[in-house]
Structure 1
Amino acid sequence: MKSTDIRDDLELGAFLSWGRELHHQGRYEDAVRAFELILGLDRDNEEALIGRNRAVRRAVPRWHWEMLHDEERAELYDRAIRQAVAAAPEALVLDIGAGSGLLAMMAARAGARQVVACEGQPSVAGTTSRVVRVAGYDDAVSVVSKMSTRMTVPEDLPRRADLLVTEIVDCALLGEGILGTIAHAREHLLTPEATIMPSRGRIIAQLVESEPLHRKNHVGKLYGFDLAPFNRLSTLEYFDSRLHRHEHRALSDPLTVFDFDFYTADARPQRTELRVRPTAAGKMHAVAFWFEMELLPGITIDNAPGHDSHWKQAIQCLPAPLHVQPGEPVVLDASHDGESVRFQVVDGVGS
């Protein structure tokens, strides 16, 4: 073996060790870049290919693929985008949280001449540029690899945008920071007359009885042991789950908890007290909640139970079940801190 070959092998080995160490430190984007340096020298290096993919898998959530196959979501956004672009074909479109670039390309396909797609996750942004180029829309769509709250005019946008398109919502609407992100965009990135999509959003909740859902967040005596102390690690807030896949019974009608106008809303915390009238007697194990978004007037999208939405529903379990009866309202304290919704029972004793 030549000395240059030995030196190259040593350098590749050092880069591989560096990439693995970055991964172990949780610096996944840095690990991606380290492994890409190796692939620049040896594009078929299997260790680098696997290392890069492992780091990307940590940095890029798996829900991207399920979301892209959510046909109802895509069709409703496409309809709303076509309508908005048709009304203002010269509009500069800003897509925040662009992901694959799908909504940005929908805007270009609808006739928008200039679209800026903002994506804060570097690995995704780099791939988005490639997707846009392969699809043949790179003459209309430019990708900015940056959080929108760090964008400025004219550095990242040639001028303030006339149409904002975004879908930075989780199963409970607020978890990806939509309130603060849109409020920042209104102040720094949009014209005063800009169209904002979605225009409104509301959170809807319902009391449910479901032992299977309760078991997803609580444990007691099992296998001859009292495992209840492990509950100190259970979530105090919500988790996502498909309600219809768990045996459950609705104990109340759905009711609106929070209603947001994205033309005026900001991320300041809110609190409200709800008097919920049970429609049936039973054991209340959880509050199930979901959202409804108005993209444009007359075009709405939601993740209500029963819909095969990739968003699922938000579930917050009570610390202990609560017996409820019709005619005896359950008082809930509902609050959000701009990003997370939480419920607490004000009246009643768990049993």
Structure 2
Amino acid sequence: MPNATTRPKRGRRTRRRQREDPARNELVSRSLESAQQCLFNQDYGTAFVHYLLVLNLAPVLKDFARESFRFTLFKWADELDSLGRIQDLFDCYEQALELFPADEVILNSMGEHLFRMGFRDEAAGHFHKALKLKPDFPEARENFYRVANWLVERWHFLMLNDHGRNRKYQQAIQKAVQRGCNTVLDIGTGTGILGMCAKKAGAAEVFACELSKTMYDLACEVVAANGMDGSIKILHKKSLEMEVPKDIPHRVSLVVTETVDAGLFGEGIIESLIHAWHHLLLPPQSGQDKFKEPSSTGRVIPAGATVFGMAVECLEIRRHHRLCVSEVGGLSMAAAGQLHSPVSCSSEPDDSMEPYTTERLSRLPGGYKPLTEPFRALDIDFNNVQELEGLTSREVQRICLPVNQEGELDALAVWFQLHLDEDNSLSTGPQEDTCWEQAIYPVQIPNGFLLRPQDKLIIEVSCRDAYLRLCSVAVVRDGHEIRLDKRLESQYTENPIPNPSPEVELCSALACLQTGQNQAKDFCMLECSEMALLNNRQYHQSFCSSLAKLITTLKTAHQNKEQGSDIKSDPVNSRDPRDLFYVLDVSEGFSLLSLMAASQGHVKAYSSVEKSQQQEVLRRLACSNNVPEQHLEFWLNHLEDEQAMLQRPSGEKLWSAIILDCVETCGLIRQKLMEKASLARCLLEEGGHIFPERIVLYGMLVESDTLLLESAVQGQEPTLGFNIAPFINQFTVPVHVFLDFSTLECRHLSASVELFVLDLMDSSANYSNREVKVQATSSGRVTAIPFWYQIHLDEEISISTLSQDSHWKQAAVVLQKPLEIRAGDWVCLAVQLHKSSISISAHIENRESGPVE
């Protein structure tokens, strides 16, 4: 009987596996000893190999060796990362996960490496797995929140909450399907909503594609939950790679898409539609096709678009894109050369520059002033393949705009009207309540240009590389054309010298020749946030004053010490170079703080600026401001280990001051700040100082429907009848970043209060939890707690991230369930710090309901 013969065999096999192998045991024992010895010698690569051998031969040792194995893996991975051996790094993690597939710490660590290298989809998957294994794992939760902001951008929530937009798309799709377009392809499906609209309208076949792995998985979940998984085929593929019949069985009669950004063409809609017309769509309808069935011709929703623009004055745009100050922290900026952001448009494509950025004009602090009437820049028909193919070869269009208000020309603001069909359209204009921002084309003129009424502004519009490009090239004033698109300042001064003499012409030619030779080195690109920081006078003046106070105090202390030890020397003119004060600036990106420190005298400053062009700018500024070359040093160019930034400058010398970059531009505390502060305290000389010494977190209770709409799909009703919210709301994050609190639509329900204090100089003053009671000044719903920081450089000098000139944005904790309060109620806020990450939950005091987070 078969069963009778199989049982003993299984039993015998089990007994054989339990027999001990002395040679194997000896190998395991020796390899384990070798692994531990290699760890002691910091030979992490060899230790890792020994651990792999041990744990593969003796799985029973996994629990015993888990911590040591993790430590070895992480150290070896850091070494591989620093050496650029990325494939080896991920191979090690794959081997580790074969041994420990359910280890949340290893999964989280691999996710961190993936995220740093730009593999955001894959990183999110690892963080998500780690959280499933351990839902209260704070590192994985924080990492998942950070990556979620990248993978499911906040506009997805706004878009799904935009009922008007959703209905118009649904109506256009329904009309097309009812007219016979019964085979549909949804390009860039996102949550799958447009494809489901087509199926609900009666389309016989619906296909969809999505490039993002995260959004593809989400769309599959949504479609399945709505009972359409068998009738909508979703491909994890770029539409440009799709073929008939490999990916879809035949050409479709309708393509629906919303692959448009604020600049209309930035998400590649032109390229994808040209490919679709040639490979995936039925031929478009022509005059001879008017008697054909609609199902035998192809069409696109949206059918086309009209682009509008206007010239604006806006200080907020200006200070993020070009230098607006002549002096920073006591340093003349005359020798800096041309500095501006990487956003600059010309009719000729430049891969190093972005043609535009995006802003919501209605929310810009300080507002904006229109200098011209809106003008029509371009029309495009998405159902005309010849027009799409000819877009990039269109002649540059020259538009002459009358100026109707005086103001400085800072940017061209651009928006569009999206024509879904002949009856439905959507506008992204600055006055519309829409999920789109506007495209901003900054004007990069070093000294600006003041437009006057009666002037005419000349704009060039082109699409050379399938990007919409608008460039301000000239101003016509009193019949004369003043060029704006030249780098030389003399070419766009308002009053050029008429009929110059031969001597002037010669000097001008020599100047042009010299400028041409130095053009590369005199031009430097900074990120928008770095430009805004450079333009922040209060920030630099505060640092300058605080640094001067510290250096003066240290000099006095040094002189007193010398006098006390009967050392006869001139402390100012005869100091030993080894007695210089050492200052370390570990600010992220471009920073003048090291140069400001070096300008104090008897200071050797170490800068963390890494880019060669930016270092050259600091060297020129040092020379022009009489700072000795040897007093400024760049030392991070070849350092891979972040912790190496906080090492001693030389020998036994200690730092007189360490400047830490504490707050990210987005409004969050920088990761590992407290760990860096702890290390920095150990490296300060007696009387030395960390800048800033203390950070105070402030916040208030507000009611803001805007923050709710940008944070999650709202309401109990399904979106267009589809169940989408529970799936995309998995990517809701509790903290909304890059917030302009000064322009946020909200009701203040309390005064601002101190929420938390981070002391970087005194570790004993810190705590991890704090409960703060806030009294409501008005009745309403607490939907969010915006927060910002007062950064104390010393006891007397501080700067706020909420100030009008701040380069920082603010952030807000958005409550999952709004808290109904009455004026006079006390709201308890539980504030928690975990590894530099702050979380806040809220509940009403003396109410029966539990905490509402």
TM-score (norm 1): 0.88
Determine which of 63, 80, 84 is the counterpart of 2:176: 84
Tell me the equivalent position of 1:101: 192
Q: RMSD of the alignment, in Å?
A: 2.8
**CA distances 1:206-258 after superposition (whole Å, capped 9, x unpaired):** 12222333233234225555568594335213221122334222222211112
Cα distance, 1:331–1:100 mapped onto 2, change above 3 Å = same
Give ranges in structure 1 of 5+ residues lacking alignment.
none
CA distance in 2, matches of 1:54, 1:305: 29
Tell me the equivalent position of 2:466: 338
Determine which of 245, 260, 279 is the counterpart of 1:154: 245
Determine which of 305, 321, 327 is the counterpart of 1:201: 305
Give matches, 1:1-351, under 5 Å: 3=61, 5-6=63-64, 11=100, 12=103, 13-35=105-127, 42=133, 44=135, 46=137, 51-52=143-144, 54-88=146-180, 91-192=182-283, 193-221=297-325, 224=330, 229=336, 231-236=339-344, 237-246=355-364, 247-263=367-383, 264=385, 265-266=388-389, 268-270=392-394, 271-320=396-445, 321-336=448-463, 337-347=465-475, 348=482, 349=492
Cα distance, 1:214–1:108 mapped onto 2, change above 3 Å = same
CA distance in 2, matches of 1:163, 1:6: 61
CA distance in 1, matches of 2:493, 2:461: 18
Contact 1:269 1:338 (8 Å CA) reproduced:
no
Tell me the equivalent position of 2:594: none
Contact 1:32 1:52 (8 Å CA) reproduced:
yes
Deviation at 1:303, TM superposition (A): 0.5
Residues 266-275 or 67-76, more deviating: 266-275
SS at match of 1:305: coil
Deviation at 1:203, TM superposition (A): 1.3
CA distance in 2, matches of 1:16, 1:249: 48
Residues 165-174 or 55-64, more deviating: 55-64
Deviation at 1:168, TM superposition (A): 0.5
**CA distances 1:299-318 after superposition (whole Å, capped 9, x unpaired):** 11110120011112112221
- 1:268 partner letter: T
| Greater radius of gyration (CA) | 2
Cα distance, 1:23–1:212 mapped onto 2, change above 3 Å = closer
- 2:400 partner letter: R
Contact 2:358 2:437 (8 Å CA) reproduced:
yes
CA distance in 1, matches of 2:129, 2:423: 49
CA distance in 1, matches of 2:363, 2:119: 36
Cα distance, 1:95–1:215 mapped onto 2, change above 3 Å = same
SS at match of 2:409: strand
- 1:164 partner letter: V
Identity of aligned residues (%): 29
CA distance in 1, matches of 2:232, 2:331: 59
CA distance in 1, matches of 2:212, 2:189: 10
SS at match of 2:167: helix
**CA distances 1:26-81 after superposition (whole Å, capped 9, x unpaired):** 222333444566678x4758355654554444344332222222222212111111
Cα distance, 1:54–1:315 mapped onto 2, change above 3 Å = closer
Contact 1:220 1:227 (8 Å CA) reproduced:
no
SS at match of 1:93: strand
**CA distances 1:116-172 after superposition (whole Å, capped 9, x unpaired):** 111111111011100111122223222111110011111221211111101101111
SS at match of 1:214: helix
- 1:173 partner letter: L
**CA distances 1:55-113 after superposition (whole Å, capped 9, x unpaired):** 44434433222222222221211111111111116x11100011011111111121223
Residues 204-213 or 42-51, more deviating: 42-51
Deviation at 1:190, TM superposition (A): 0.4
SS at match of 2:420: strand
CA distance in 2, matches of 1:76, 1:219: 43
- 2:377 partner letter: V
SS at match of 2:392: coil
Cα distance, 1:154–1:52 mapped onto 2, change above 3 Å = farther
CA distance in 1, matches of 2:493, 2:361: 22
Deviation at 1:275, TM superposition (A): 1.1
Aligned residue pair count: 349
Contact 1:77 1:295 (8 Å CA) reproduced:
yes
Contact 1:129 1:142 (8 Å CA) reproduced:
no
Contact 1:112 1:140 (8 Å CA) reproduced:
no
Residues 339-348 or 132-141, more deviating: 339-348
SS at match of 2:400: strand
Cα distance, 1:24–1:327 mapped onto 2, change above 3 Å = closer
Deviation at 1:289, TM superposition (A): 0.9
Contact 2:412 2:470 (8 Å CA) reproduced:
no
SS at match of 2:253: strand
The structure with the largest strand share of the pair is: 1
Residues 158-167 or 256-265, more deviating: 256-265
Which fold has the larger relative contact order, with Cα–Cα distance below 8 Å and residues 6 or more apart in sequence?
1
**CA distances 1:308-335 after superposition (whole Å, capped 9, x unpaired):** 1111211222123333334432111222
Contact 1:92 1:162 (8 Å CA) reproduced:
yes
TM-score (norm 2): 0.38
Cα distance, 1:324–1:49 mapped onto 2, change above 3 Å = closer
Contact 1:92 1:161 (8 Å CA) reproduced:
yes
Deviation at 1:350, TM superposition (A): 6.5
Cα distance, 1:289–1:233 mapped onto 2, change above 3 Å = closer
Give ranges in structure 2 of 5+ residues lacking alignment.
1-59, 70-99, 284-296, 345-354, 476-481, 483-491, 495-853
Residues 20-29 or 283-292, more deviating: 20-29
